Structure 1
Amino acid sequence: MNEKDIIKAARLGNSQALAKLFQQNYTFLLKYLIKATMNKAMAEDLAQETFAKCLEKIHQYDEKSKFSSWLIAIATNLYMDQLRKNKRENNWEKEQGIRHLKWQMENRNEEWNDVLTALSHLRDDVRIPIVLKHYYGYSYDDIGNIMKISSGTVKSRIHNGILAVRKELNT
């Protein structure tokens, strides 16, 4: 059964089809959210919230983009909404999350490099387009659609973010 058939079955309320969609996309979504939030616990919460929203709104999926792109759009919007609500609290949480994530990755002998550290210092609205473009290969237009901003703004944020990362890595 291909993804379109699974989605069609999920829209009709087939719980096995929904479970299959979640199973196929959870790891991808979680890895994206970890890079976007720099906080594993927050990423896990957002992944669950994303799937809950997906379950509620699966009838709105228009199949113009990949299902995983639709999930990323939902997750990004949920994260940006959360940031707007909890601005001050998030700065402290983010630093703690970065330290914890770095510690976890190093203890599992996974790579935490200087680029991830430099990315973690960027504002979320700059880091997310860079992650989507350079880790996941999305186009400027796709990123603009996901984040509900123009592709010109996406290009500008990516350009300025990369300059900031380069500057930090050269010091």
Structure 2
Amino acid sequence: MGDSTLTRIRLAQQGDPSALSLLLHEHYTFLYKYLIKATMNPSLAEELVQDTMVRCMEKISTYNGSSSFSSWLITIATRLYIDRKRRWRLEAKWLQEQNVHSVRWRFESRNMEWSDVLEALSRLSSPQRVAVLLKHYYGYSYDEIGDILQVPSGTVKSRVSAGLTQLRKELNEDEA
């Protein structure tokens, strides 16, 4: 790290907005290129660079020089990216649960029984659930399902097998 960067960091930590602005400007492209490679998504990379820059502005006083400034920025950016992915997983899980509740309500509102099997099916991954339904509820062959899903029949067999294994496990646990 050059003396000019160290000087800008010190000035930014003392509240000099132009030093902070110049510091962020100097590291923007470097950080963006890193995030493009990490996310493989230009718009997400752009968002994360912006979020990282905001976090840097908020936390510049905590930078202690134990690593290079660019490494500090990469650490912030990587943690933001991991947090974002974790939040997406939680949101996806929540949405799936809401969908299950909606389907369950539709069944119950029409006086149809919501069975343990449907409950267990709702917990399968979508690819497994579709494969199991097409095979064992609708009676398609593995080749036909492969054509429908545009995957090899071996993949269908694997999904059906894994789905049935999970269903058996869940249904046996419910009985115990």
Question: Normalized against structure 2, the TM-score is what?
Answer: 0.49
Which amino acid is 2:87 matched to?
A: K
Corresponding residue of 1:36: 38
Which amino acid is 1:21 matched to?
A: L
Q: State the SS of the aligned residue for 2:60.
A: helix
Out of 55, 71, 74, the position equivalent to 1:72 is 74
Give distance in 1, aligned partners of 2:25 and 2:33: 14
Corresponding residue of 1:13: 15
Q: Deviations over 1:31-79 (max 9, x none)?
A: 0000000100000000000010000001110101110000000000000
Which amino acid is 1:27 matched to?
A: T
Q: Deviations over 1:82-140 (max 9, x none)?
A: 000102889xxxxxxxxxxxxxxxxxxxxxxxxxxxxxxxxxxxxxxxxxxxxxxxxxx
Out of 48, 53, 56, the position equivalent to 1:51 is 53
Corresponding residue of 2:28: 26
Give distance in 1, aligned partners of 2:45 and 2:20: 21
Give distance in 1, aligned partners of 2:91 and 2:42: 16
Higher relative contact order (CA 8 A, sep 6+): 1
Identity %: 49
| Number of residue pairs matched by the alignment | 90
Corresponding residue of 1:3: 5
Q: State the SS of the aligned residue for 1:30.
A: helix
Could you list the runs of 5+ residues in structure 1 that have no partner in the other structure? 91-171
Q: State the SS of the aligned residue for 1:62.
A: coil
Which amino acid is 2:47 matched to?
A: D
Which amino acid is 2:42 matched to?
A: K
Question: Normalized against structure 1, the TM-score is what?
Answer: 0.50
Corresponding residue of 1:121: none
Could you list the runs of 5+ residues in structure 2 that have no partner in the other structure? 93-176
Which amino acid is 2:35 matched to?
A: L
